[in-house]
């Protein structure tokens, strides 16, 4: 697979894969964040490549993790929703790297079920949080099934345990280490060190007071609004008295976003610790370092927190990667990438065969700065939960090209919460991301977009057929 097209040394790289939970790209300064600085994550981008169009194929924790491990879409790996546990016996990246001679480990959030076939497989070492885990004094489950409480803050401890494993691995074989942070997942609990960050107010997104006109009913139906749906126990504060409705919404936003960013600051510090460790051990040249998140997140955009939707803020994954031997420093990749590609990318770098079931494509030539003439021109997305009863985000699928996005909400039988049993028909949205980057006005019924709409509908059907997913009947 690597073949003669790559000019590479025989040395197989180590792979350090650092993943946060719910860390949106627009809260990374390398991606132009208006609200925070992430100097250590930025360092990876500055010394390597930043991917600007890397997308998840289902904006939810467990489904994205299953995709990253297996290189398959969720209808293939079986983790369409949060209520399906992962069957870890299926062919996956860690086991394939292990067979290829890598030492493999995962530390931190697993979130794919526990016990029997759901435990991590293909790892020489694992120590993981049960389910979501705790921010403070977290419990860890070890390979022998024992559980232990480790005093301290989860993000620091996950890094400590990672460095500990790196220090005692066999130095003569390459490693693959997944460092999976719990942060900055809800409910956002910063550590003492970062509690005083952001004393003043932070910028509010332009779309914070979005009224959802111009979009499908699904946008109005969602119960993920900062103003109405973010609970005070998530914010761990009492609402100040005497605020108007808009002032309450802004107070909630400021409280939420500051705690979220304080959690991110700890993640960034700990990325720095890992980079320093590689430097100290003389491993920086030989190690691929990735920083990403399982999906994006709404940071008050459209008035929302949370994810699930195919809108840009939740669809886009931050993805920065450093590998001095192959990836030009300070480069930016524009090609359409997805989390389905990660497994094949790492296997390619490792000189190992991808499993025939895998459905992505190695990003390696793109990361090297090569042009790939037949690279994909669209990406597929499917959010499967038909309404989880809490967030009320309707199931949908769609396709995004460089410029356009077509989304189909097959929400038959669903209505707006609290409005009797009114039933809505399925709905479509089409966005022109060039003229409407914030996705405020669907042009699905605009006659000027008839051809675009037809092309995208055909592309959606083509991708579904290609990957073996079935349209909603
Ligand atoms: Ca997540």
Query: Per the structure block, which two tokens stand in for 461?
Result: 């059907």
> Which residues pair with residue 331 across a beta bridge?
49
Task: For the chain, report the end-to-end CA distance as a whole number of angstroms.
Answer: 38
Tell me the CA–centroid distance for residue 62 and ligand 1, in Å.
7
CB 449 within 8 A of CB 443: yes
Domains and CATH numbers, the chain: 14-191+253-370 (3.40.720.10), 381-467 (3.30.1120.10)
How do 49-51 and 331-333 pair as beta strands? parallel
Residue with tokens 């059907």: 461
Q: What is the pLDDT along the chain (473 residues), one digit of tens a residue?
A: 444 444 445 689 999 999 999 999 999 999 999 999 999 999 999 999 999 999 999 999 999 999 999 999 999 999 999 888 899 999 999 999 999 999 999 999 999 999 999 999 999 999 999 999 999 999 999 999 999 999 999 999 999 999 999 999 999 999 999 999 999 999 999 999 999 999 999 999 999 999 999 999 999 999 999 999 999 988 999 999 999 999 999 999 999 999 999 999 999 999 999 999 999 999 999 999 999 999 999 999 999 999 999 999 999 999 999 999 999 999 999 999 999 999 999 999 999 999 999 999 999 999 999 999 999 999 999 999 877 788 989 999 999 999 999 999 987 666 555 555 555 678 999 999 999 999 999 999 999 999 999 999 999 999 999 999 999 98
Per residue in 324-376, pLDDT (tens digit) is: 999 999 999 999 999 999 999 999 999 999 999 999 999 999 999 999 999 99
Tell me the CA–centroid distance for residue 295 and ligand 1, in Å.
6
**Other C-beta atoms lying within 10 Å of the C-beta of residue 295:** 27
Per residue in 292-330, pLDDT (tens digit) is: 999 999 999 999 999 999 999 999 999 999 999 999 999
Tell me the CA–centroid distance for residue 19 and ligand 1, in Å.
10
Tell me the CA–centroid distance for residue 54 and ligand 1, in Å.
15
Query: Per the structure block, which two tokens stand in for 432?
Result: 């022109």
Tell me the CA–centroid distance for residue 390 and ligand 1, in Å.
16
Distance CA 410, CA 41 (A): 38
Tell me the CA–centroid distance for residue 452 and ligand 1, in Å.
32
Distance of CA 309 to the CA centre of its chain: 13
Neighbours of ion ligand 1 (CB under 5 A): 21-22, 61, 294
Tell me the CA–centroid distance for residue 281 and ligand 1, in Å.
31
184 preceded by cis ω (within 30°)?
A: yes
CA atoms within 13 A on the CB side of 457: 11
- The set of residues, in sequence order, having a beta carbon less than 8 Å from that of 16 and lying 6+ positions away, is 175, 177, 179, 274, 278, 287, 288, 289, 290
Query: Per the structure block, which two tokens stand in for 11?
Result: 């040395």
The C-alpha angle 161, 164, 168, rounded to 5 degrees, equals: 140
Tell me the CA–centroid distance for residue 60 and ligand 1, in Å.
5
Distance CA 311, CA 297 (A): 10
CB 404 within 8 A of CB 387: no
Tell me the CA–centroid distance for residue 9 and ligand 1, in Å.
36
Residue with tokens 């890094």: 159
Query: Per the structure block, which two tokens stand in for 43?
Result: 């360092």
Query: Per the structure block, which two tokens stand in for 319?
Result: 């993805």
Of residues 24, 416, 413, 440, the one with CA closest to residue 222:
416
Tell me the CA–centroid distance for residue 64 and ligand 1, in Å.
8
Tell me the CA–centroid distance for residue 209 and ligand 1, in Å.
25
Strand, helix or coil for residue 409? strand
The C-alpha angle 414, 443, 220, rounded to 5 degrees, equals: 30
- Predicted TM-score (pTM) above 0.85: yes
């Amino acid at each position: 697979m690597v073949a003669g097209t790559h000019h590479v040394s025989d040395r197989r790289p180590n792979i350090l894969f650092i993943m946060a939970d719910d860390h949106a790209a627009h809260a990374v300064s390398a991606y132009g964040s208006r609200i925070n600085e992430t100097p250590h994550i930025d360092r990876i981008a500055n010394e390597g490549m930043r991917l600007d169009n890397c997308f998840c194929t289902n904006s939810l924790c467990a489904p994205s993790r299953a995709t990253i491990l297996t290189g398959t879409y969720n209808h293939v790996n079986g983790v369409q929703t949060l209520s399906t546990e992962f069957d870890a016996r299926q062919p996956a990246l860690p086991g394939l790297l292990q067979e290829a001679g890598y030492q493999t480990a995962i530390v931190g959030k697993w979130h794919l079920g526990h016990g029997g076939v759901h435990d991590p497989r293909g790892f020489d070492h694992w120590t993981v949080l049960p389910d979501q885990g705790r921010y403070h004094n977290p419990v860890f489950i070890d390979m022998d099934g024992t559980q232990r409480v480790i005093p301290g803050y989860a993000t620091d401890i996950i890094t400590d345990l990672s460095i500990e494993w790196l220090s005692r691995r066999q130095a003569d074989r390459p490693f693959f280490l997944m460092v999976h942070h719990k942060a900055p997942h809800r409910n956002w609990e910063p550590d003492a060190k970062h509690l005083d960050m952001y004393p003043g107010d932070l910028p509010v997104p332009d779309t914070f007071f979005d009224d959802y006109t111009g979009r499908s009913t699904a946008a109005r139906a969602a119960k993920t609004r900062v103003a109405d749906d973010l609970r005070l126990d998530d914010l761990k504060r009492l609402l100040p008295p005497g605020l108007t409705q808009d002032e309450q919404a802004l107070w909630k936003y400021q409280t939420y976003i500051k705690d979220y960013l304080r959690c991110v600051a700890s993640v960034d510090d700990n990325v720095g610790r890992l980079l320093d460790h590689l430097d100290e051990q003389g491993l920086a040249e030989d190690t691929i370092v990735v920083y990403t998140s399982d999906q994006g997140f709404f940071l008050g955009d459209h008035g929302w927190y949370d994810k699930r939707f195919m809108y840009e803020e939740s669809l886009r994954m931050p993805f920065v990667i450093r590998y001095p031997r192959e990836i030009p420093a300070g480069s930016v990749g524009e090609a359409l990438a997805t989390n389905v590609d990660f497994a094949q990318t790492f296997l390619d770098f490792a000189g190992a065969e991808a499993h025939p079931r895998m459905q992505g494509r190695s990003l390696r030539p793109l990361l090297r700065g090569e042009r790939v003439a037949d690279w994909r021109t669209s990406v597929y997305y499917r959010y499967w939960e038909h309404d989880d009863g809490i967030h009320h985000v309707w199931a949908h699928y769609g396709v995004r090209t460089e410029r356009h996005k077509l989304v189909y909400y097959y929400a038959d039988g669903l209505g707006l919460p609290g409005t009797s049993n009114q039933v809505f028909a399925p709905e479509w949205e089409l966005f022109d991301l060039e003229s409407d980057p914030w996705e405020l006005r669907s042009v699905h019924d605009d006659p000027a977009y008839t051809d675009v709409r037809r092309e995208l509908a055909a592309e959606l059907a083509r991708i579904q057929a290609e990957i073996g997913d079935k349209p909603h009947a």
